[in-house]
Amino acid sequence: MEKGFCYQTPLGKIVLIENGSAVTRLIFSEVLPEGVNCTETPLLKKAVLELQEYFAGTRKRFDLPFSPQGTDFQQKVWKALQDIPYGAVVSYKDIALAIGNEKACRAVGGANNKNPISIIIPCHRVIGADGSLVGYGGGLEIKRRLLALEKQK
């Protein structure tokens, strides 16, 4: 049974969910999904502490066990996202090239959109080829704020 808890962040309320051994989801919401037990576990406390450090500008990489659930293709994309340095941005084509399929820009965008652990898996660092901010599950304003935070620190 998954356990989750709602936390206040500088971006608003988020729900963190874990499966007993790893963080599985980060949702921009204050409502736990159906079937998730409202329990603040040591792992969720560690995750929110690392997020607080990230928002304070003192953490550049997360040191948490996490386990996003998705297809093999999505897993490849999410792994490539983790290699984007703090404060950097790349295009969907850059990620497609990184996973060895340069024609998969649209599919990369779809996988990015399905990232279940945003911020921790930094999908906000992917922008359009022309430098525009495109698509983000939490909304473009949150994406803009995350990128601005990383540029400041």
Residue 61, both tokens: 């990489």
What's the mean pLDDT in 103-109? 91
Dihedral of CA atoms 134, 73, 78, 128 in degrees, nearest 10, equals -20
pLDDT for position 11: 92
CA nearest to 51, candidates 119, 2, 152? 119
Residue 83, both tokens: 């290699």
Would the pLDDT of 124 be above 80?
Answer: yes
What's the mean pLDDT in 49-78? 96
6, 38, 105, 123: which one is catalytic? 123
Based on its alpha-carbon atoms, the radius of gyration of the chain, rounded to whole angstroms, reads: 15
pLDDT in tens, 21-60: 999 999 999 999 999 999 999 999 999 999 999 999 999 9
pTM of the entire predicted model: 0.92
Alpha-carbon distance of 78 to 81, in angstroms, equals 5
Would the pLDDT of 98 be above 90?
Answer: yes
pLDDT for position 79: 97
Q: Element (H or E) spanning 141, and its range?
A: helix 140-152
Would the pLDDT of 108 be above 70?
Answer: yes
Would the pLDDT of 139 be above 90?
Answer: no
Is 6 labeled as catalytic in the residue annotation? no
**50 or 141, higher pLDDT:** 50
2-35 burial, b at 16+ Cβ within 10 Å, e below that, comes to: ebbbebeeebeebbbbbbeeebbbbbbeeebeee
